[in-house]
Structure 1
């Protein structure tokens, strides 16, 4: 059984020159004078226990989608069918009364969710404890900070495990401690079969906890794929400055999707991972000296050129990144036809696993000013532990552990024996 089934979902806002024309539209006698679609022809499904990340620029239709799923908005076209109870944190303080206390708002919210009164009273102490706001729980909500509101809202929304949990950016307001606590509860719900829809601009969080991701652009579902693929596409959309900056997808080895974008004023010609002897290396030993070689060609004159390098783990999360802006090696006044070779030398202090390299050629420290070319999965390499002690994690640290053992009882005994001779 599907936890959620979305078919042809769309939402349009219509305006009329007069109230009479609006009433006439109810009987199909008049058409709207203006129609604005904020969401159009969206279809996808989710299975129990699946976590889906939702990405997109502001105004892409993400919040509208969630409101249609929860039923706070009615769709213009299509349907959203949920099998089970939905719990949502859509907007900070949404549904809360600022004049009521946290306890009263919690009671009211659970009541609206259809929780029986006797159950609500048993849940309130748990909500109070989880939110960790102390005596503020019995004070008006208007006295709360935004972080305290998030604590109460999340505690209420997750007081009873829902079949579908929707979180729309609200957790980004909370402090780091509560975010960790919230994600721990979310993972527990996932393991128990709760479907999670998670909207966030934090692409690392999307890649860390989501099974797949949806990318929205101008009210349409642009991409439904693995989180790392969708995040790369989203980042390229952010970098796209003009219509000439095209986004291209190439299928590489083992079906990997390589996303390339930019104006191509400066283009990447080749990317290689080299060992300490300068040989091409697909496998690198932990701690071994490694060089990343990037060959680029200037196709049009540019005033400045910056190379950016990002090493990512198998989930697409950045392990390390730097660029020639940070190292004060920006190239200036380049001519068309020039060839450039960048050698990025580093000790491969990484844990065993598969890593990828993303390369960016830009005009400054960020690709948001002018993106000449940005290529994810520009190179892929394997790290193996050949000569280091066994360790876990994605980073190798040359660790020394010192151990001292003492017997506190014998020390006391020695002191007692020496005591009389000192008199």
Structure 2
């Protein structure tokens, strides 16, 4: 039975006023302690059972990364005990375990063996690792020439090449580009559906609330609160107070490889997001009028063709979706060889952030009946706010305000 049991764990580091004091302690057994203890963690206790997803949050310096190092065995606790059952895959630091002078492929073999995989297993998994990482020819280049995003791609691909019993992730994914964040979170969700136990450390409020069953808030090395993610996040926001700084970060989504499924009776030949002038765009403004253009080619004669799309936030949560069935624009008896272009025009009343588009070709009201092609991450785009009043959330719904009453 997979589990993580943390009982009364504390971690302290010795602080010496002078270097010679450390030497005296080593050389003279039984001498009076020449150090003081700085406690990073104090009396941490919690349990994570099989299939649970738990998020750990807290401001910088709260002890989150130290706790993960203790759980994964890269550091030893000063007090208390930790019991783990199950195969663990962990991403604690960017490129952790990678040798800068070795190629990506060589590091895959080293990291894979550290995870308990055999050479034969790694050879079998290598094509899938390369495909998921999407770093191309860089796989045979030294890691020292990699960008931080490329290191994350390869490290995550190796750590998740085989579904682990326990997956532990620190903030490493936050440095990846928007496209790979969408892709990696989708893999995490798939592991969750298949029973993987998840321990996630993140400052991302939406990630904690959308993925985790419980959240643990660390503050000054102690557990300040544990419970439902929403209530824990509310308390965390109160602790942050003035410390939170809002900013807009634009990430290029290199390698727009979509996940495909379906019969192939109809296929998507092109997808574009266009502005009012008809130019293709990847960054748009809150409320901007845009057109989603989907080009379809019919490979075999089909009775019914429905085209739909869904806008998802960075974590894969649906924001809005529709299809031509619900819009009463279904095409019937579509002959093989026919090419059709669909243009969905709408105002992007979305909050600032990164979004993806999933596109589907199917019959009936959903792809469950007959799926010709389903493409996740068909497009990744970023919404910025350059002219609207400040607001929060994933939707731009400006109200009309009237204030009544006498002075």
Query: Normalising by the residue count of structure 1, what TM-score does the alignment of the two structures yield?
Result: 0.56
Matching of residue 20 in structure 1 with residue 29 in structure 2: no
What SS does structure 2 have at the residue aligned with 1:73? Answer: coil
Q: Distance in 1 between matches of 2:231 and 2:86?
A: 30
Q: Distance in 2 between matches of 1:171 and 1:20?
A: 41
Tell me which residue corresponds to 1:236.
238
C-alpha distance after superposition, 1:3-43 (max 9, x if no partner): 10000111100034423333269x66432422101111100
Q: Distance in 1 between matches of 2:22 and 2:167?
A: 38
Higher mean Cα deviation, 61-70 or 158-167? 158-167
Number of matched residues? 257
C-alpha distance after superposition, 1:146-203 (max 9, x if no partner): 1111110100111122221111111111122211221221122212221111111110
Q: Distance in 1 between matches of 2:183 and 2:86?
A: 25
Q: 1:162 aligns with which of 161, 164, 171?
A: 164
Unpaired runs of at least 5, structure 1: 242-392, 410-423
Give yes or no for contact 1:14–1:32 (8 Å, CA) kept in 2.
no
C-alpha distance after superposition, 1:68-89 (max 9, x if no partner): 0011111100111110121111
Q: Distance in 1 between matches of 2:236 and 2:64?
A: 14
Tell me which residue corresponds to 1:384.
none
Matching of residue 11 in structure 1 with residue 14 in structure 2: no
Q: 2:139 aligns with which of 127, 137, 140?
A: 137
Shift of 1:65: 0.1
Tell me which residue corresponds to 1:208.
210
Matches within 5 A, 1:348-359: none
Shift of 1:240: 6.5
Tell me which residue corresponds to 1:299.
none
Q: Distance in 2 between matches of 1:401 and 1:142?
A: 52
Q: 1:72 aligns with which of 74, 99, 103?
A: 74
What SS does structure 1 have at the residue aligned with 2:117? Answer: coil
Q: Distance in 2 between matches of 1:186 and 1:147?
A: 18
What value does the CA root-mean-square deviation take over the aligned residues?
A: 2.6
C-alpha distance after superposition, 1:270-314 (max 9, x if no partner): xxxxxxxxxxxxxxxxxxxxxxxxxxxxxxxxxxxxxxxxxxxxx
C-alpha distance after superposition, 1:234-293 (max 9, x if no partner): 00001178xxxxxxxxxxxxxxxxxxxxxxxxxxxxxxxxxxxxxxxxxxxxxxxxxxxx
Give yes or no for contact 1:3–1:163 (8 Å, CA) kept in 2.
no
What SS does structure 2 have at the residue aligned with 1:30? Answer: coil
Q: Distance in 1 between matches of 2:58 and 2:114?
A: 30
C-alpha distance after superposition, 1:337-387 (max 9, x if no partner): xxxxxxxxxxxxxxxxxxxxxxxxxxxxxxxxxxxxxxxxxxxxxxxxxxx
Q: Distance in 1 between matches of 2:30 and 2:13?
A: 16
Tell me which residue corresponds to 1:176.
178
Tell me which residue corresponds to 1:123.
125
Cα–Cα, structure 1 residues 239 and 404, in superposed 2: closer, same or farther, change >3 Å? closer
Q: Distance in 2 between matches of 1:22 and 1:187?
A: 50
Cα–Cα, structure 1 residues 10 and 402, in superposed 2: closer, same or farther, change >3 Å? same
Q: 1:104 aligns with which of 91, 103, 106?
A: 106
Q: Distance in 2 between matches of 1:94 and 1:144?
A: 14
What SS does structure 2 have at the residue aligned with 1:181? Answer: helix
Matches within 5 A, 1:14-413: 14-16=14-16, 17=18, 18-23=21-26, 29-239=31-241, 401=327, 403=329
Q: Distance in 2 between matches of 1:73 and 1:39?
A: 13
What SS does structure 2 have at the residue aligned with 1:98? Answer: coil
Give yes or no for contact 1:14–1:33 (8 Å, CA) kept in 2.
yes
C-alpha distance after superposition, 1:73-122 (max 9, x if no partner): 11100111110121111111121111111111111101122222221221
C-alpha distance after superposition, 1:186-233 (max 9, x if no partner): 122212221111111110111011001010001111111100011110
Shift of 1:394: 7.0
Give yes or no for contact 1:89–1:170 (8 Å, CA) kept in 2.
yes
Q: Distance in 2 between matches of 1:92 and 1:394?
A: 31
Q: Distance in 2 between matches of 1:11 and 1:80?
A: 12
Unpaired runs of at least 5, structure 2: 244-317, 336-407
Shift of 1:137: 0.7
Shift of 1:408: 8.8
Give yes or no for contact 2:22–2:34 (8 Å, CA) kept in 1.
no
Shift of 1:406: 9.1
